[in-house]
Structure 1
Amino acid sequence: MKKIENTSLFNRYVNESNILNIFSTDITDKMQLFYFDKDDIIINEGECSDFLFFLVDGKTKVLSHSISGKVMFVSHFNSLEVLGETCSLWGKNPNASVQAITPCYCFAISLNLYREVLLNDVKFLRYICLNLGERLSYMTSNTCTTMFESLENRLASFILKNSKNNIFNYNLTECAELLSTSYRHLLRVLNTFCNKNKLHKKGKVYEIIDKDYFEKLSS
């Protein structure tokens, strides 16, 4: 974690993320900008953070450990996202870690200094409630999908959500983890899509040839 002292970059992320819209007052004087390198731990399982983090650039994954010690991948976030709010705001030890998948920039608000300011901001708390409700709905849906849908269906949805200009360029190890499957099984399904001329492998990326096919599968 590295604090960024760059006013131009700070203001750019304020404007691009529209972060001030979730607060009742202008809190730019209470925010700091931090940089996390790829694979850095932003929130560590079992350790209460001194900051409330807002992801404004980059991608993260959320992972937890089972009783047996197995790593379980819970979710992944893109910007703008609040990270670990329920634990950080109320001083609870988190039961999951948040790790940077790519280089990340986060706004941070010191909870030692501004916890009460945040907890008394009704507009901010409404945003947190809505955010938590959406995450709960997503996790419930995702759990049901993982249990009952085939990898083909889940991968089709994942490809559509994580492609740009019909190009799917995602770390396949991370993809396998997030879809709760093995790397080998993931490659088999990708190869099947290619053999059916639904995808075309171009080096390390995949081009979507038949978008309607993936939309039908993901639905």
Structure 2
Amino acid sequence: MQSIKEYLHHYGLADLFPSAVSDSMRLEQYPAGRRLFSQGDPADTLYLLVEGKLKISMLSPEGKRLILAFKSPFDIVGDIEYVQKCAFINTVEAVTDLVLLRVPHHVLELEMSGNAAFQQFLLETVTRKFVTKAQELNFNLLYAVDVRVASYLLSMTPDTPRLDSPSLVDMADLIGTSYRHLNRVLRQFEQSGWIRRNNGKIDLLDRDALLNQAGHNIYE
């Protein structure tokens, strides 16, 4: 793990944040599987993702949790909430171990509210996210379930060929299908020799075949 200054230099952000802001930043680590925050939680922090991979999901009006995206460095978490002054609009969880830089909202409001470069930075990131969110919601509606399942398995296992103790009910909700349909697709993948299910775990035996099935990783 690097220092805050090293991360800022690595991602070309050293000149964006004055010392009053960078000095207020804190390094935070989250283990794989940890939830950073839930949809509706109060938002008072901007997070800069500098190591690891996280999963973003939302609760639909029907009460189903749907995956919006998987994110890797460099990315920002909480920028929309900072601009809108609202609670967190999505749920964010660690897929792998994470390292983030944490910046309090009140420091940004005090030091960066009139900073044109920072406002442009936020505008670009927020605009990109709204476009991406619309595309990803369409993916959940338009892509076949086997494509979504293959993509989910790949996205959840960036550093290991094994998905430990997945809840198939949760997985079905996240990719927008039924438990029965998900189980049928997993059985097809297993019969094809792409995965193996054993004692509640899923081993990925043929990532190339899953990549081919996904076409491209729709959650990335």
Partner of 1:46 in structure 2? 40
The superposition leaves residues 106-141 of structure 1 with CA deviations (integer Å, 9 ceiling, x where unpaired) of 211122223243333333333333323332233222
Please tell me whether residue 195 in structure 1 is matched to residue 218 in structure 2: no
Give the counterpart of 2:118 among 116, 121, 124.
124
Q: Is the 8 A contact 1:65 1:72 kept in 2?
A: yes
SS in 2 for 1:30: coil
Alignment of 1:54-73 (within 5 A): 54-66=48-60, 70-73=63-66
Find the partner of 2:26 among 26, 29, 32.
Answer: 32
SS, match of residue 20 in structure 1: coil
| Map of 1:105 onto structure 2 | 99
1:179 to 159, 163, 175: 175
The corresponding residue for 1:3 is none
1:24 to 1:158, Cα distance in 2 relative to 1, 3 A: same
Per-residue CA shift, 1:76-120, capped at 9, x if unaligned? 433332112121244223333333444432211122223243333
Structure 1, gaps ≥5 residues long: 1-7
How far, CA to CA, are the matches of 1:100 and 1:151 in structure 2?
A: 24
2:40 & 2:195 partners in 1: Cα distance? Answer: 43
Q: 1:184 to 1:145 in 2, by over 3 A?
A: same
Q: Deviations over 1:184-215 (max 9, x none)?
A: 53342133123234x1438642122654x743
| Cα 1:207/1:216, change in 2 over 3 Å | closer
Do structure 1's residue 86 and structure 2's residue 60 form an aligned pair? no
Contact 1:160 / 1:215 at 8 angstroms: preserved in 2? no
Which residue in the other structure is 1:169 paired with? 162
| 1:15 CA displacement | 6.1
1:66 to 1:94, Cα distance in 2 relative to 1, 3 A: same
Is the 1:22–1:124 Cα contact (8 Å) retained in structure 2?
no
Cα-Cα RMSD:
3.6
1:18 to 2, 11, 25: 11
CA positional deviation for 1:156: 3.4
Q: Of 209, 212, 215, which aligns to 1:218? A: 215
- What is the TM-score of this pair, normalised by structure 1? 0.71
Q: Distance in 1 between the 2:74 and 2:102 partners?
A: 13
Aligned to 2:136, the other structure's residue is in SS state: helix
Distance between the aligned counterparts of 2:79 and 2:151, measured in 1? Answer: 28
Question: Which amino acid in 2 is paired with 1:73?
Answer: L
Q: Is the 8 A contact 2:4 2:27 kept in 1?
A: no
TM-score of the pair, normalised by structure 2: 0.70
Task: Give the counterpart letter for 2:135 in structure 1.
Answer: S
The CA deviation at 1:14 is 0.9
Distance in structure 2 (CA, Å) of the matches to 1:36 and 1:53: 12
Q: Deviations over 1:24-63 (max 9, x none)?
A: 6565323111233455543343343222111223333334
Aligned amino acid, residue 205 of structure 2: E
Provide structure 2 residue ranges, at least 5 long, that are not aligned to the other structure.
none
